[in-house]
C-alpha cells in the first residue's frame, strides 16, 4: 500500500519553489533592465522605477500563489478587501500619495538620479528615486530618505537643473581703497581660479554703501555644484589677500 506524502509537506515544497523562482525572476529581470537601459542610454531614474515595478509585481504574484497553496480562498480575500476598502484606503493613503508623487516626479522630470537637491536645510545627491521614497546622500556620506509626497507640499531646490552654478561671495570694500581698481583686480582673481568658467565671465556687482565700506558681490560660474562651498572658501581667501595688500599700499602712500 502506497502512503500519500503529507499534503503540508508538499505545500511547503511548492511555496519554497515559488519563493526561489520569484527571487530568480526578480534578479534576472532587474539585470536585464539595467543591461538594456545602459545599452540604449536610458535615464537611471527610469531604470530604477521599472525595477521597482517589477519587484513589487513579482512579490504580489508570489504572495497570491503562496496563499493559494495553503488553501486560502483568494476570491474571498478580494471580496473582503472590497468590503473594507475604505478602511484600507485610509490606512494606505500615505503610501498611495507617495506612489502618485513619485510618478509625477518621473513625468515632470523635477529631478533625477545624480542631481543635487536641498529640502528643509538638507542637501545631497539623489542616489535612488523609488516609487515611495527618494534617497539622497549628503557630502558627509549621510543617507537621508524622503517620502515622495513631501516634494508636493514643500519647497526644494535642484542645484543641477542647469548646466552651470553660480558662486556668490559678498565682500566689503573699505573706502580707503580705490574702488574701480579693486573691482578689476577681484574680477582678475576670480578669472584666474582654475575651476571658474570663462563664460559667463566673472563679475562684481556693487550693492550698497554703508558706514564700514562698499558692499559688493563677486559672481563666478562653475560646473560642479557639489563643490560650490569649497570654491567659495577658496575665492574668499584670495580676495581677502588682495584686499589686505591693497590696504597696506594705501597706508604706505599716506
Task: State pLDDT tens for residues 119-133.
Answer: 888 888 888 887 778
Q: Are residues 85 and 119 in the same domain?
A: no
Q: Are residues 148 and 177 in the same domain?
A: no
Locate 211 and state its grid cell: 558706514
Burial of 248 (0-12, 13-18, 19+ CB in 10 A): exposed
Last residue of a domain, which of 91, 123, 144? Answer: 91
Phi, psi of 91 (to 5 degrees): -70, -30
Is 154 contained in some domain?
yes
Q: Nearest CA to 24 among 52, 53, 58, 67? A: 58
Q: Are residues 191 and 218 in the same domain?
A: yes
Q: Are residues 73 and 26 in the same domain?
A: yes
What is the rounded CA–CA span in Å between residue 252 and residue 226? 42
pLDDT recorded at residue 173: 87
Decide if pLDDT at 212 tops 50.
Answer: yes
Is 2 contained in some domain?
no
CA distances from 43 to 10, 46, 85, 156 (A): 44, 5, 36, 21
Q: Are residues 181 and 249 in the same domain?
A: yes
Averaged pLDDT, 158-167: 73
Last residue of a domain, which of 91, 110, 125? Answer: 91
Strand segments, DSSP code E, in 36-142 are: 116-119, 122-129, 133-137
Q: Are residues 201 and 227 in the same domain?
A: yes
Is 96 contained in some domain?
no
Is 1 contained in some domain?
no
Decide if pLDDT at 2 tops 50.
Answer: no
Is 179 contained in some domain?
yes
Q: Are residues 13 and 76 in the same domain?
A: yes
Total domain count, the chain: 3
Averaged pLDDT of the chain: 78
Q: Are residues 78 and 126 in the same domain?
A: no
Q: Are residues 118 and 50 in the same domain?
A: no
With a pLDDT cut of 70, the percent of the chain lying above it is 79
Condensed to tens digits (0 to 9), the pLDDT of residues 71-86 reads 766 666 555 555 445 4
pLDDT recorded at residue 252: 54
> Which pTM was predicted?
0.47
Pick the range with the lowest mean pLDDT from 45-49, 185-189, 191-195.
45-49
Is 201 contained in some domain?
yes
Decide if pLDDT at 251 tops 70.
Answer: no
**What is the C-alpha end-to-end distance of the chain, expressed in Å?**
119
CATH code, domain carrying 198: 3.30.70.100
Q: Are residues 249 and 169 in the same domain?
A: yes
What is the rounded CA–CA span in Å between residue 66 and residue 59? 10
- Domain residues for the domain of 189 are 165-253
Q: Are residues 28 and 70 in the same domain?
A: yes
pLDDT recorded at residue 1: 41
Amino acid at each position: 500500500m502506497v502512503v500519500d506524502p503529507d499534503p503540508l509537506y508538499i505545500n511547503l515544497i511548492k511555496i519554497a519553489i515559488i519563493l526561489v523562482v520569484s527571487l530568480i525572476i526578480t534578479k534576472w529581470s532587474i539585470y536585464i533592465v539595467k543591461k538594456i537601459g545602459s545599452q540604449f542610454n536610458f535615464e537611471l531614474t527610469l531604470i530604477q522605477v521599472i525595477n521597482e515595478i517589477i519587484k513589487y509585481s513579482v512579490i504580489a504574484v508570489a504572495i497570491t500563489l503562496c496563499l493559494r497553496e495553503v488553501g486560502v480562498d483568494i476570491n474571498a480575500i478580494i471580496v473582503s478587501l472590497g468590503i473594507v476598502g475604505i478602511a484600507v484606503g485610509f490606512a494606505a493613503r500615505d503610501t498611495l500619495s507617495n506612489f502618485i508623487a513619485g510618478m509625477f516626479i518621473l513625468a515632470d522630470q523635477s529631478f533625477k538620479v545624480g542631481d543635487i537637491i536641498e529640502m528643509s536645510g538638507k542637501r545631497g545627491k539623489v542616489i535612488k528615486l523609488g516609487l515611495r521614497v527618494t534617497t539622497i546622500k549628503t557630502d558627509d556620506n549621510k543617507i537621508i530618505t524622503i517620502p515622495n509626497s513631501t516634494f508636493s507640499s514643500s519647497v526644494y531646490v535642484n542645484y543641477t537643473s542647469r548646466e552651470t552654478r553660480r558662486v556668490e561671495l559678498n565682500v566689503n570694500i573699505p573706502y580707503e581703497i580705490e574702488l574701480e581698481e579693486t573691482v578689476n583686480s577681484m574680477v582678475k582673481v576670480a578669472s584666474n581660479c582654475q575651476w571658474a568658467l570663462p563664460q559667463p565671465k566673472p563679475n562684481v556687482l556693487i550693492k550698497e554703501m554703508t558706514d564700514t565700506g562698499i558692499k559688493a558681490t563677486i559672481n563666478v560660474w562653475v560646473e560642479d555644484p557639489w563643490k560650490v562651498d569649497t570654491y567659495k572658501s577658496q575665492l574668499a581667501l584670495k580676495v581677502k589677500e588682495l584686499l589686505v595688500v591693497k590696504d597696506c599700499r594705501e597706508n604706505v602712500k599716506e
